[in-house]
Chains A and B, each alone.
Chain A
């Protein structure tokens, strides 16, 4: 059934086969023509159509009608206005993109106005501190005075000192 329908469609396409190759834009049509290219019937049809099309091109154009084919366009090109230009989708899209890029630049500039030397490191430390979770911390149950040894051994942190008067204080976790 599908085969019959496909053959019928191919026959229909061949009956509408273009006279000149410039009208051959359709893939289905190209395929139908390539299948029938060798058939005598199709060649006769093409010759017939070409002869009729040649005759049509010989139809003379009366002088009064030919006046319409003057060099200047019948409709002058529309005048250029700001309003019209702004309504053009391409211009609109470009304007929005430029505005967004400008916005990003301004935001970056304003956010760097309050920078100071070492602000990048400070920002990094704050970032790490903000992302730290309680589970990542080991509870310590010891006297404050022993913390300098603990930090040195565990994290290589030197120069951590607790004033002597607080050395006996117990850590709180």
Chain B
């Protein structure tokens, strides 16, 4: 994986992983075109700042910047209504159900979640950060992140059950 954008010390910053940055934008927006727009805008701005020698010193600033751009990009979109979503316990057969999903479907599902749950799910399933880094990036407390992830799993399971109903054994 390429890790570019050097920190002030000239050392490439850890985890400023560009393919994962694109995937993050995609999960946040659920739309390839919008994700590319945000991804390119983030990198263009970063390159300009780098040329001026104004790269931020904080860690994961590319992801932080991209997150705010994603939130900004969806500000004018229709927001999901705060309704009670179905929740099912995570099932043992969930991996096979997920295996039948298209990445696009997952991105659409995650991008439809209200923020900060959307950010929490996108950052967590990138499998790029540990939980403390996610807390920092999404500006959450541990119990909030825990609740968002736990609810997210159960809601995704309910959605999977609705999309791929299990045939009852006779």
Contacts and interface: CB of A to CB of B under 8 A. Distances in A.
- Whether A associates with B in a native complex is yes
Interface of A: 8-9, 11-13, 15-16, 18-20, 23-26, 29, 40-41, 44-45, 47-62, 64-66, 68-69, 73-75, 77-78
B157 A69 contact: no
Given A51-B95, A68-B43, A18 B131 contact: yes
B30 to A, nearest CB: 11
B13 to A, nearest CB: 10
A89 to B, nearest CB: 11
A50 B19 CA distance: 19
A48 B98 contact: yes
Contacts of B169: none
B104 to A, nearest CB: 8
A59 B157 contact: no
Contacts of A18: 127, 130-131
A44 B91 contact: yes
B157 A74 contact: no
Contacts of A62: 22, 32, 36
Interface in B45-62: 46-47, 50-51, 53, 55
A38 B46 CA distance: 45
B98 A51 contact: yes
Given A29-B131, A49-B125, A52-B156, 16 more contacts: A8-B143, A16-B131, A16-B149, A18-B127, A23-B129, A44-B92, A50-B95, A53-B127, A56-B23, A56-B126, A57-B127, A59-B107, A69-B2, A74-B50, A75-B50, A78-B53
Nearest to B106: A55
Contact of A74 (B23, B43, B156): B43
6 contacts: A24-B130, A61-B19, A74-B43, A75-B4, A75-B5, A75-B6
